A and B are shown apart, each in its own frame.
Chain A
Amino acid sequence: MLSRDQVLHVARLARLELTAAEQERMGEELSAVLDHIEKIGELGDLADVAPTSHVIAVENALRADEPRPSLPAEVALRSAPESDMGGFRVPSPGPAPA
Chain B
Amino acid sequence: MRPRGSSAPGAASPSERSSRSALTLTAAAAVARIRAGELDAAELWEGYRARAAADEHNAYTWVADGGDPPALGADAPLGGLPVAVKDLFCTEGVPSQAGSKILEGYLPPYTATSVENLARAGAPLLAKTNQDEFAMGSSTENSAYGPTLNPWDVTRVPGGSSGGSAAAVAAGSAPWAIGTDTGGSIRQPAALCGIVGLKPTYGAVSRYGMIAFASSLDQAGPFTRDVTDAALLFGAMAGQDPCDSTSVGLPAPVALPSRTDLRGVRLGVPEELTGEGIEPGVLASFHGALDVARELGASVEPCKLPHAPHALSAYYLIAPAEASSNLARYDGVRYGFRADAAGDLLHMYTETRAQGFGAEVKRRIMLGTYALSSGYYDAYYGRAQKVRTRIREDFDAAWERFDFVVTPTSPTVAFALGAKTADPLSMYLNDFCAVPMSLAGIPGISIPSGLSEGLPVGLQIAGPAFSENALLDAAFALERAIGFDAAPWRHVA
Contact = CB atoms under 8 A, between A and B. Distances in A.
Interface of A: 2, 6-7, 9-11, 13-18, 22, 26, 29-30, 32-34, 36-40, 42-43, 46, 49-56, 58, 61, 63, 71, 75-76, 78-82, 88, 90-94
B331 A79 contact: no
Contacts, number: 164
A71 B386 contact: no
A6 to B, nearest CB: 8
6 contacts: A14-B366, A36-B428, A49-B390, A55-B216, A78-B107, A80-B333
Contacts of B465: 55-56
B12 interface: no
A80 B335 contact: yes
Interface in B225-247: 242, 245-246
Q: Which residue of A49, A82, A92 has the most chain B CB atoms within 10 A of its CB atom?
A: A49
B310 A91 contact: no
Interface string B350-385: 110110010000110111011001000000101111
Interface stretch (B76-84, B126-134, B341-349, B480-488): B341-349
Main DSSP-derived SS at the B contact region: helix
Nearest to A37: B313
B109 A79 contact: yes
Contacts of B348: 90-91
A22 B357 CA distance: 13
Contacts of B334: 76, 79-80, 88
B245 A14 contact: no
Contacts of B351: 17
Given A16-B366, A26-B363, 8 more contacts: A26-B366, A29-B424, A33-B424, A34-B367, A55-B216, A81-B332, A90-B333, A92-B345
B459 to A, nearest CB: 24
Given A18-B354, A39-B310, A43-B310, A93 B346 contact: yes
A38 B370 CA distance: 13
Nearest to B440: A55
Given A14-B365, A53-B216, A71 B440 contact: no
